[in-house]
């Protein structure tokens, strides 16, 4: 789910409201109108786990951040994560 959240944020230009991200995740998962009721809770937990400064094991840095501070519903990629993902996307297009 970490990769999916990162991909969705990238498609929104690197940042989006939490509900937009979760709606997009749900659209990828919905089958015959069925929605995963636990999706919101899992997405929030994954985002939180990968946005904490102490989330990085060793020297790994967080992937996500809240640009408007704690408690805000705006989610974003960190600058490092966004640069890495954009470079990977450009490399795929070039090959």
Q: For 52-83, what is each residue's pLDDT tens digit?
A: 876 555 566 899 999 999 999 999 999 999 99
pLDDT score of 15: 97
Band of pLDDT at residue 92, cut at 50, 70 and 90: low
* 21-44 tens-digit pLDDT: 999 999 877 665 556 678 999 999
In angstroms, the CA 87 to CA 30 distance is 30
In angstroms, the CA 31 to CA 35 distance is 7
Q: What is the arrangement of strands in the sheet containing 74-77, beginning at the earlier edge strand?
A: 15-17, 74-77, 64-65
- The H or E element containing residue 57 is none
pLDDT score of 65: 96
Which of 68, 90, 94, 86 is closest to 6 using CA atoms? Answer: 86
Burial zone of 50 (CB within 10 Å; 0-12 exposed, 13-18 middle, 19+ buried):
buried
Question: Can you list the alpha helix ranges (DSSP code H) found in the chain?
Answer: 2-11, 18-29, 39-49, 79-94
């Amino acid at each position: 789910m970490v990769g999916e959240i990162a991909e969705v944020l990238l498609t929104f230009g690197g940042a989006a409201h939490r509900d937009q991200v979760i709606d997009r995740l749900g659209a990828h998962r919905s089958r015959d109108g069925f929605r995963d009721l636990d999706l919101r809770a899992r997405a929030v937990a994954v985002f939180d786990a990968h946005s904490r400064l102490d989330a990085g094991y060793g020297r790994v840095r967080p992937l996500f951040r809240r640009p408007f501070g704690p408690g805000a519903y705006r989610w974003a990629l960190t600058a490092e994560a966004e640069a890495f993902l954009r470079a990977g996307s450009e490399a795929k297009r070039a090959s």
